[in-house]
């Protein structure tokens, strides 16, 4: 079944003779009684507009306020977007940033802010987070490692100063191997995609696990590993299969994936689309939205000398 778009109410201003805004509430009908505006909604009764002390509340239901803007100064230039500031009386805004939305490849970028803005001299300020979509700068090649020791004991192999640890754990509800280092996750490059151990093992498993999405280790006894899958089906698999899967995993090119919000690619492009949203029933003012950026070092924009 096709998705049916949510209904939207459009408001027309006779003062400026233009459609000025949209509302999330969708009444069944409107009524004017003198200077009072009324509307009704099925099973919600009649609503008196402009007399409700709790803003953004219609028919007893709260709604957020939102606005979408596009920073498109010097549209032929590729810019790196650094920060955003809001001239507003509230700091509880959420924001979603996107660039290059017209592309269907790795040019597209996206990041978001879910916590409050910082108050700086009356302005609400936040650095624009790194892109969570199509980032690569948070990936660092990891040196090759070898597997040694007993599979039912901790296996540790020091690689340079990274303190790389492969641990065979028998803890409940944890994957059978802890493939991590402080501050990041180890991923293997397989068929052009970076995958963690659990994902790669499930995709290549030959014991009926190819159609599940997660595994939980229960125990290891007499050479078999008891696994409960996301479908809560218990499987008994040879320990050797896990060892083989781990050996296959570390045989691929390895990368350390650190925090993408801190070390991912900086948002960049000819424009930056910003979707702002706030949930509040208090008086709200938003006078201006400012975007701080600098030109990309590889920018090839058109100039008067081009």
Query: Are 180 and 287 in a shared domain?
Result: no
Supply the pLDDT for residue 156: 33
Residue 158 maps to a domain:
yes
128-152 as b/e: b if 16+ CB within 10 A: bbbbbbebeebbeebeebeeeeebe
Per residue in 291-302, is it b (16+ CB within 10 Å) or e — as a string?
bebeeeeeeeee
Q: Tell me phi and psi for residue 290, to 5 degrees.
A: -115, 135
DSSP 95-108: EEEEE-TT-SSTT-
H-run or E-run covering 241: helix 239-251
31 shares its domain with 59: yes
Other Cβ atoms within 10 Å of 89 Cβ, number = 13
Cα of 68 vs its chain's centroid, Å: 18
Q: 99: left (phi > 0), else alpha (psi -120 to 50), else beta?
A: beta
Residue from 188, 191, 145, 150 nearest 170 by CA: 150
Contact 274, 89 (CB under 8 A): no
155 with 228, same domain: the answer is yes
| Domain span at 51 | 9-63
pLDDT for the residue numbered 231: 58
| 82 and 58 part of one domain | no
Is residue 75 in a domain?
A: yes
Asked whether residue 3 is assigned to any structural domain, the reply reads no
Q: Is residue 202 part of a domain?
A: yes
Q: Is the domain of 146 the same as that of 290?
A: no
Please identify, among 22, 46, 63, the residue that sits at the C-terminal boundary of a domain: 63
Shared domain check, 268 and 253: no
Tell me, yes or no, whether 14 and 100 share the same domain: no
pTM here? 0.67
**Closest to 202 measured CA to CA, from 230, 236, 225, 223:** 230
Distances (CA, A) of 224 to 23, 132, 177, 218, 242: 60, 39, 15, 11, 10
pLDDT in tens, the chain (306 residues): 334 446 788 888 888 899 988 887 888 888 888 888 888 888 888 888 878 777 888 888 888 889 999 999 888 889 999 999 999 999 899 999 999 999 988 899 999 998 878 998 889 999 999 999 998 888 888 776 655 444 333 333 333 333 333 333 333 333 445 566 666 778 888 888 888 877 787 777 665 555 555 555 445 555 555 555 555 555 666 666 766 777 788 888 888 888 888 889 999 999 999 999 999 888 889 999 999 999 988 766 655 554
- The whole-angstrom separation of Cα 161 and Cα 294 is 36
Task: Supply the pLDDT for residue 147.
Answer: 57
- The answer as to whether 4 is a domain residue is no
For residue 305, being part of any structural domain is answered with no
- Same domain as 253, residue 268: no
| 227 and 143 fall within a common domain | yes
Note whether 121 and 225 are same-domain residues: no
| DSSP letter, residue 222 | T
Q: Measure the N-to-C terminal CA separation of the chain; round to a whole number of Å.
A: 52
Q: How far is CA 29 from the centre of its chain?
A: 39
Q: How many domains does the chain have?
A: 3
Looking at 43, 63, 83, the residue that finishes a domain is 63
pLDDT at 277: 93
Reported as type and span, the H/E element at residue 200 is: helix 197-204
pLDDT of residue 303: 58
Shared domain check, 191 and 95: no
Residue 304, in any domain of the structure:
no
How many whole angstroms separate alpha carbon 243 and alpha carbon 67? 53
Nearest to 176, CA basis, from 239, 112, 104: 239
Judge if 184 and 283 occupy the same domain.
no
């Amino acid at each position: 079944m096709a998705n049916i778009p949510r209904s939207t109410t459009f408001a027309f201003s006779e003062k400026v003779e233009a459609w000025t805004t949209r509302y999330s509430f969708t009444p069944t009908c409107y009524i004017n009684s003198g200077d009072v505006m009324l509307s009704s909604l099925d099973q919600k009764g009649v609503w008196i507009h402009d007399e409700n002390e709790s803003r953004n509340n219609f028919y007893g239901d709260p709604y957020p306020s939102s606005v979408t803007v596009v920073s498109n100064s010097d549209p032929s230039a590729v810019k790196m977007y650094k920060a955003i500031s809001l001239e507003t009386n509230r700091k509880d805004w959420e924001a979603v940033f996107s660039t290059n939305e017209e592309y269907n490849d790795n040019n597209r970028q996206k990041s978001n802010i879910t916590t409050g803005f910082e108050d700086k001299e009356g302005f609400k300020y936040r650095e624009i987070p790194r892109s969570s979509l199509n980032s690569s700068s948070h990936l660092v090649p990891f040196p090759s490692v070898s597997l040694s020791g007993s599979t039912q004991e901790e296996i540790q192999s020091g690689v340079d100063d990274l303190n790389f640890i492969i641990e065979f754990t028998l803890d409940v509800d944890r994957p059978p191997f802890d493939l991590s280092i402080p501050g990041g996750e180890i991923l293997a490059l397989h068929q052009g995609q970076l995958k963690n151990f659990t994902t790669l093992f499930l995709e290549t498993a030959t014991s009926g696990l190819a159609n599940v999405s997660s595994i939980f280790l229960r125990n290891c006894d007499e050479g078999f590993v008891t696994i409960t899958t996301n479908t809560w089906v218990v499987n008994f698999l040879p320990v050797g299969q896990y060892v083989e899967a781990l050996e296959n995993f570390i045989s691929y090119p390895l990368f350390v994936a650190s925090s993408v919000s801190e070390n991912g690619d900086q948002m960049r492009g000819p424009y930056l689309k910003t979707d702002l949203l706030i949930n509040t029933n208090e008086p709200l003012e938003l006078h201006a939205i400012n975007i701080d950026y600098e030109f990309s070092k590889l920018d090839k924009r058109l100039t008067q000398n081009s």
